[in-house]
């Protein structure tokens, strides 16, 4: 689980999170706002879900709780933002959603802060 959660989370941070935070004004201008919360709020939520959440998952700290905002963003991407797109576009949020659901249901594993604190998955 350590290997899987670290690789999935590093991919999320590297591919989606860093470009959002490094080009924040561009992110605000182009990030979808499917629920009308405002461009900046949507951008901040996406950044938190693409950087902060995966960092907690890597550490195995509050893993299941940290996955909830990640799943919110990836599932909204799949079902709302990219609903009319081809499967070639929709597969990215779907694959991240499935990967994080897998971690959510199995837990962070033995090599995590959660395990050290709670002595379980």
Read off the pLDDT of residues 72-115 as tens digits, 9 standing for 90 and up.
999 999 999 899 999 999 999 999 999 999 999 999 999 999 99
Which stretches of 1-121 are DSSP H helices? 2-12, 18-22, 24-30, 39-47, 53-59, 63-76, 87-106, 113-118
Residue 120 predicted with pLDDT over 70: no
**CA pair distance 67, 15, nearest whole angstrom:** 17
DSSP type of residue 111: S
Check: CB of residue 8 under 8 Å from CB of residue 50. no
**CA pair distance 71, 26, nearest whole angstrom:** 23
- For the chain, the average pLDDT equals 94
């Amino acid at each position: 689980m350590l290997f899987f959660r670290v690789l999935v989370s590093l991919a999320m941070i590297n591919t989606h999170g860093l470009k959002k935070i490094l080009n924040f004004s561009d992110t605000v201008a182009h990030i979808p706002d499917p629920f009308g919360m405002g461009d900046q709020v949507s951008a901040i939520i996406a950044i938190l879900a693409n950087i902060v959440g995966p960092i907690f998952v890597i550490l195995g700290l509050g893993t299941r709780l940290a996955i909830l905002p990640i799943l919110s963003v990836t599932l909204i991407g799949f079902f709302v933002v990219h609903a009319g797109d081809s499967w070639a576009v929709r597969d990215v949020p779907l694959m991240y959603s499935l990967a994080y659901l897998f971690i959510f249901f199995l837990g962070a594993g033995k090599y995590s802060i959660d395990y050290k604190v709670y002595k379980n998955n």
